[in-house]
Amino acid sequence: MGAQRAWRPPDERRTLQLALATIWLFDGILQLQPFMFTRQFGTTMLAPTAHGNPNTVAHSITWASHFISDHAVSTDAAFAVIQILLGLGIAWRPSVKTALGASIVWSCAVWWFGEGLGGVIAGTAHVVSGAPGAVLLYAVLAVLLWPSDRGGPDAAFIAARAVGERAARIVWVLLWGGLSIVALLGPNRSATGLRDVVRDLGDGEPRWLGSLDQHVANVLGHRGLAVSIVLAVVLGLIALSVYLPLRPARAMVAVALMASLVIWIFGENFGQVFSGSASDPSSGPLLALVALAYWRRLPQAKATPDPCRELSWEGA
């Protein structure tokens, strides 16, 4: 019979994996809300994401939303079980690789059929309301937190351990740089675009959150373009900060964390989880997790061997 190595407490990367698992579990249970078992889930949440996408994409989304509407209970139950299993699979060490791999496939499918590619192609993406599609960030995190040490256990930051420092830096630049560009595209450029996004969030939310949205919308007023430009500059600086030395890089990661928090609270209303129809906590917490994966470590800090790799069962 096989054997087992000593159990090790979670290290930094394992802790981030567990945070990701927690969010997957949360997603799965959100999928069990009563609204999700109704036809409206398909017709009012999924079908509208087809608008503005190329015909091929739009047709596939429409087909999927009809199928889900027609089999609302069974498909939703399956979605919930899949997401709960992804969360539990990442949390259970022997299955972490399988679960992370499956989460990449699932995330890409949901990004296509459930989020209409995040509105990136349709030109409806808003940085403050979840662009480029929250679910895509699950896949990015699964790659960055993959339990391997290609970049070496002593890499400059956690994300570099799995894919190497160069690739990890490129991912960071693409993500935050992409958000910076999206902040200046389409509806984000109009004077009232941001105000309208924030104001419309209040529907179905608790009164205090609705008041907060109204207040923020009033402050934004007709300053949408100016705010978008400031946002784009800040996000652009965050994107480039990955090439800075230790202290300024850490400062910019802190800025990225703050930006994630601001987006999550004011732009996403905590993922609208109080509305009874949220399927995930939106992009804010995931952006924060990505930022934490890039927290620059002190040069002398030595990483421990991956706890999941320690737990490999030897063959008989």
Partner 1 sequence: MPHPTWLAYTFAAVMVAVSLYCIAWLIEATRRSLQNHMDVNISHVAMGLAMAGMLVPRLNLLPDGLWEAVFVAIALWFSWQGVRFVMHRSTRQSAGALHGLSHYLIHLVMALAMTYMYLAAVATPATARVGMSMTGPTGTTANFVGLPLLFVMTLFASAVWQLDGLSRYAPSHRTLVGAGILGDPGPDGARGSWETARAVRGEAPRPLESAAGASPSLAPRLEMGCHIAMCITMGYMLILVL
- The footprint of partner 1 (CB under 8 A) covers 1-11, 14, 18-19, 21-22, 25-26, 29-30, 32-35, 37-38, 73, 84, 87-88, 90-94, 206-208, 270, 273-274, 276, 304-305, 307, 311, 314
Rounded distance, CA 113 to CA 108, Å? 9
Least separation in angstroms between CB 20 and partner 1? 9
In terms of CB distance, is 17 or 228 closer to partner 1?
17
Nearer to partner 1, 40 or 190 (CB): 40
Measured from the CB of residue 87, what is the shortest distance to partner 1 in angstroms?
Answer: 7
Find the shortest distance in angstroms from Cβ 15 to partner 1: 9
- Token look-up 């972490």 returns 96
Per-residue exposure over 210-231, b if at least 16 CB sit within 10 Å of its own CB, e if not? bebbeebbeebeeebbebbeeb
- What three-state secondary structure class fits 49? helix
Cβ-based neighbour number of residue 234 at 10 Å: 20
Residue 253 near residue 291 (C-beta atoms within 8 A):
yes
Given the complex with partner 1, which of 129 and 272 has the nearer CB atom?
272
CB of 222 to partner 1, least distance (A): 31
Closest to partner 1 by CB, 63 or 274: 274
Q: What type of residue is 123? A: G
Q: Minimal distance in Å, beta carbon 91 to partner 1?
A: 4
**Cβ closer to partner 1: 21 or 292?**
21
